[in-house]
Structure 1
Amino acid sequence: MANPDVRPSVARLEPAPLPTGRNIELTLLAFAAVIVTGALVLVEINTAGGTEPARAITSLIYIGVAYLALLVVAHLAVRKWAPYADPLILPCVALLNGLGLVMIHRLDLAAQERAILLGNDIPTTLVTRQIAWTAVGLALFVGVLYLVRDHRTLARYSYTAGFVGLILLALPGLLPDAISEINGAKIWLRVGPFSIQPGEFAKILMIVFFAGFLTQKGELFRTAGRRFLGMEFPRARDLAPLLLIWGLSIVVLVLERDLGSSLLFFGIVLVMIYIATERVSWVVIGLSFFVGGAVIAYNLFSHVQARVQVWLDPFSDYDRAGYQIAQALFGLGTGGVGGTGLGAGRPDLVPFAATDFILSSLGEELGLIGLAAILVVYLVLITRGLRSAVAVRDSFGKLLASGLAFTIALQIFVVVGGSSKLIPLTGLTLPFLSYGGSSLVANYALIALLLRISNAARAPLPARAAPPRAPIAEAGTELVERPK
């Protein structure tokens, strides 16, 4: 006979822990390292590496080991401080950065070979500086992950970020040309041998500001106005913020002669307003402002006219103003579908091959197939950033992640369009691929913020303690009288 005091045990099912995705990230990072190492070996083989084995081994050890060490540091930082972050974002960045290092090294070898043939001094290698800037960028990347434990805390400092961003954006235009101008653009701060572009950091601060501003004042932009052509247009007094950023873009264009930054800032703000309001009328108004500003700038400023004329017909002034874009088009044409092979082309014939026209350098040696693969990696990076924006639970995080992801997308469109003669050249660089310290360091800070937001979006909600429940046999009963 069964003992009535012995109750059958009931197994409690504990929820399985959510996968963090860090092992997937580590596997993809290893895959990126294999691709970058293979590309570096091809460069050494095709640039007389077989006749100079010592140089090839030195390059592989120096660049390869430095690259792997930096990847390990980045992965460990994400694993410790953002364990639930998207596992695809960092591998995409690592692959792009690694391919950029390989191409910059390849251009260094071409510059050294030309210097030897002409009897000139051997130029300083750019890849050494780029590795150093990568280390600085990853140090800032780790610092952002460590200090910003919750992206929502940035909303408290949104106005401070906007004020500092405006100062950084306007400072080069107010300083003497000797300190701030390089190649006709006043976007630099030069102190001795060092130079930085404050605008690269200003864009992140301005995104933080507008994300906080639109979160607090979003109702202002959603206020119904007059209905026209099937759309709700805002009231005239509600257009002040858009007019302000439009005026700021024009001021940047005038003072700093930087068409790329003007386009970038205006595009970012316009997209963030659209995301906050979901009203097409803001896009229509913004594009109207853009067209009006473009017409005014073309009629008033000679450097804008020169950019447009070169865009329309670069071969009419091939030896001077049109030389850069013409050589870039020749490089893309030489690469064709399959490319000449890493180390087997002549990308050094294009001016600024490591910075503004690195897309042409990659297109010549990797071809259309290689460029398409690189653009797919960018597309994955942008998509994962936007996915984090959709998944995060707070409005500030949604706007911040959308602005950060769209910044990368707009830069890619502007650079690819300029290098392929789809749109006029603007002077922007490809994120993580092009040579340049300011862009690389700022973009690593941007990626750290994206990873912080994606960690918040994918992390499990804090578990709530369930109230103690009595066994059903001991539960009290209550008689409830049915109403008559």
Structure 2
Amino acid sequence: MSEVVESPVPMPAKRRVAQLVMLAVAVLIVMGAYANVGMAMNGEVPSGMLTYGLGLGGLMLAAYLVLAKFAPWADPLILPLVTLINGLGCVMIFRLEPVMAGASSNSQIMWTALGVVMFSVTLVVLRDHRMLQRLTYTAGAVGLVLLAIPAVLPGSLSEVQGAKIWIRIGGFSIQPGEFAKLALVVFFAGYLVAKRDVLALAGRRLLFIDLPRARDLGPILVTWGLSLLVLVFEKDLGTSLLLFGTFIAMIYIATQRTSWVLIGVLLFVGGAFVAGQLFDHVGARFSAWLDPGSPIFYGNAPVCLEDPPGDPLCSKSYQIMQGLFGFGAGGILGTGLAQGHPELIPLSFSDFIFAATGEELGLTGLMALLMMYALLVERGLRTSIAARDPYSKLLSGGLSFILAWQVFIIVGGVTNLIPLTGLVTPFMSQGGSALLANWILIALLVRMSDSARKPPPQAIQNEGMTQVFQR
């Protein structure tokens, strides 16, 4: 009887070279932007430019080598796109360093390095993403605990600018909600794969829509209630909207029922409206959105916007106005890197880095940046379509959506399309928690992309050396 030996199919050499060339181009673009900022600010190329370039290039080369070893068939565009976005974020933070309270561009580079380490560790440890399906309820419990910790901590350890979303001990701080979103997406994917047949059953028909059965509304009502608890007790509209929106998108992917999307939209809008009427901090966000140029009232006390006294709720409206002025000053082509005045925008290095970028790169630069995000999301969705099993489709679709949804929420907030939420721009804003979580997200997408794009293993029959393909 002949023995069959499986051997992996190697990735074509041309694809490896193309990916390496794209990484090199991304690093060169970042270095050109870094030199541009230094010339505009000080009239000379930054003294640490060579060190910065070698450091960034070395980091991404290490990430490429890990990817080539442990996920050789992964989509070749994902890592170069993330490198370019992350690198441009570091450049903008270097440019904004004079107005950054207690932070520096060096710390952002260190967080980027740690993010690449987490990316590499995830690829090395997680050889098969489907093992996460066995941890469905464990991931759900971990996600809930991470969400709840800031709410139960005293304000001195968890509250920053009105939102209780941090854990601060001494000089160390972390935002657990950034990691909770990953754990909850893993839980949503596993749960919906198991329950999708039940959730896809139709109940009564209303007009042209088949409504779900009343007994099947439990999961969406529980998730809705959780999002409202986050909104009310942690004053975190961003995470609330992010998690509930992601669940609605994933339940739609699982069931293909438009009725779930309509029910989810009605639930969230209704819940947000009621919360806005009952809680001042929620109502203030909507007041700032509807009319950012006029004073906001908290109870019977008006707040002056011309000279913000430091009240976190007051400053939200002031931020919106300054951000919109920055977009207007940038126009189509922008003022040029380090030639605008983004320092006039509060938190221009974190929540409003998109507005600061818009002032100096203009509408053209912002469209290019959004196109990079769109390509990154498109590659994730393509992975979802190509995945061979339902769990992989749901998990990659959910991770891709959460990235796209986060970009929409922050861009919509700073342009006043939707109420300001306090989320940060992925891979660009200053801070470590979001950056680490997003690099882990990319590692998960890369792992699933490798699994979806890998050809069937090649079987070599020892007797006669006849090659066959296992399907």
- How far is the alpha carbon of 1:466 from its aligned partner? 6.7
- Aligned counterpart for 2:458 among listed residues 454, 459, 463: 463
- How far is the alpha carbon of 1:124 from its aligned partner? 4.7
- Paired with 2:75 and 2:418, the residues of 1 have a C-alpha distance of 33
- How far is the alpha carbon of 1:467 from its aligned partner? 11
Show the counterpart of 1:111. Answer: 99
- How far is the alpha carbon of 1:407 from its aligned partner? 0.5
Give the match's secondary structure for 2:47: helix
Post-superposition Cα deviations, 1:420-452, rounded to whole Å, max 9, x if no partner, equal 111110000010011110000000000000000
Does residue 165 (structure 1) correspond to residue 143 (structure 2)? The answer is yes
Show the counterpart of 1:369. Answer: 364
- How far is the alpha carbon of 1:177 from its aligned partner? 0.6
Q: What letter matches 2:169 in structure 1?
A: V
Q: What letter matches 2:408 in structure 1?
A: F
Q: What letter matches 2:452 in structure 1?
A: A
Does residue 399 (structure 1) correspond to residue 388 (structure 2)? The answer is no
Does residue 442 (structure 1) correspond to residue 437 (structure 2)? The answer is yes
Does residue 78 (structure 1) correspond to residue 71 (structure 2)? The answer is no
CA contact (8 A) 2:9 2:455 kept: no
Show the counterpart of 1:6. Answer: none
Give the match's secondary structure for 1:429: coil
Give the match's secondary structure for 2:418: coil
- Paired with 2:99 and 2:258, the residues of 1 have a C-alpha distance of 50
Show the counterpart of 2:43. Answer: 49
Q: What letter matches 2:81 in structure 1?
A: C
Q: Which has the larger radius of gyration?
A: 1
- Paired with 1:272 and 1:350, the residues of 2 have a C-alpha distance of 36
Show the counterpart of 2:121. Answer: 143
Runs of at least 5 residues in structure 1 that lack an aligned partner in the other structure: 1-14, 113-122, 470-484
What does 1:342-381 align with in structure 2 at a 5 Å threshold?
342-381=337-376
- Paired with 1:183 and 1:411, the residues of 2 have a C-alpha distance of 20
Show the counterpart of 2:90. Answer: 101
Show the counterpart of 2:253. Answer: 275
- Aligned counterpart for 1:249 among listed residues 227, 249, 252: 227
Post-superposition Cα deviations, 1:305-331, rounded to whole Å, max 9, x if no partner, equal 111111111111332322111110111
- How far is the alpha carbon of 1:49 from its aligned partner? 3.0
Calculate the TM-score normalised by the size of structure 2.
0.90
Show the counterpart of 1:27. Answer: 21
> 41-50 or 435-444: which moved more?
41-50
Q: What letter matches 2:222 in structure 1?
A: L
Q: Name the one with the larger strand percent.
A: 2
- Paired with 2:10 and 2:81, the residues of 1 have a C-alpha distance of 26
- Paired with 2:393 and 2:413, the residues of 1 have a C-alpha distance of 30
CA contact (8 A) 1:362 1:371 kept: yes
Calculate the TM-score normalised by the size of structure 1.
0.88
CA contact (8 A) 1:141 1:447 kept: yes
- Paired with 2:128 and 2:437, the residues of 1 have a C-alpha distance of 19
- Paired with 1:313 and 1:285, the residues of 2 have a C-alpha distance of 28
Give the match's secondary structure for 1:149: coil
Post-superposition Cα deviations, 1:23-71, rounded to whole Å, max 9, x if no partner, equal 2211111110111000001101100233xx6xx222x134323212211
Q: What letter matches 1:398 in structure 2?
A: K
- How far is the alpha carbon of 1:83 from its aligned partner? 0.4
- Paired with 1:194 and 1:362, the residues of 2 have a C-alpha distance of 28
- How far is the alpha carbon of 1:465 from its aligned partner? 5.3
- How far is the alpha carbon of 1:139 from its aligned partner? 1.3
What is the RMSD computed on CA atoms of the aligned residues?
1.8
Show the counterpart of 1:186. Answer: 164
- Paired with 2:391 and 2:16, the residues of 1 have a C-alpha distance of 26
Give the match's secondary structure for 2:293: helix
- Paired with 1:301 and 1:218, the residues of 2 have a C-alpha distance of 36
- How far is the alpha carbon of 1:396 from its aligned partner? 0.4
CA contact (8 A) 2:147 2:176 kept: yes
Work out the percentage of aligned pairs sharing the same amino acid. 52
Show the counterpart of 1:429. Answer: 424
- How far is the alpha carbon of 1:230 from its aligned partner? 2.0
Show the counterpart of 1:419. Answer: 414
- Paired with 1:156 and 1:393, the residues of 2 have a C-alpha distance of 18
What does 1:3-14 align with in structure 2 at a 5 Å threshold?
none
CA contact (8 A) 2:9 2:457 kept: no
- Paired with 2:396 and 2:18, the residues of 1 have a C-alpha distance of 22
- Paired with 1:413 and 1:125, the residues of 2 have a C-alpha distance of 26
Show the counterpart of 2:58. Answer: 69
- Paired with 2:117 and 2:10, the residues of 1 have a C-alpha distance of 31
- Paired with 1:156 and 1:69, the residues of 2 have a C-alpha distance of 36
Q: What letter matches 1:354 in structure 2?
A: F
- Paired with 1:221 and 1:111, the residues of 2 have a C-alpha distance of 51
Give the match's secondary structure for 1:57: coil
Runs of at least 5 residues in structure 2 that lack an aligned partner in the other structure: 1-7, 296-304, 309-313, 465-471
Give the match's secondary structure for 2:294: helix
- How far is the alpha carbon of 1:191 from its aligned partner? 1.6
- Paired with 1:346 and 1:42, the residues of 2 have a C-alpha distance of 16
Give the match's secondary structure for 1:225: strand
Show the counterpart of 2:272. Answer: 294
- Paired with 2:41 and 2:9, the residues of 1 have a C-alpha distance of 53
Q: What letter matches 2:12 in structure 1?
A: P
Q: What letter matches 1:129 in structure 2?
A: S
CA contact (8 A) 1:356 1:434 kept: yes
Show the counterpart of 1:10. Answer: none
Q: What letter matches 1:371 in structure 2?
A: L
Q: What letter matches 1:411 in structure 2?
A: Q
Give the match's secondary structure for 1:435: coil
Q: What letter matches 1:266 in structure 2?
A: F
Give the match's secondary structure for 1:314: coil
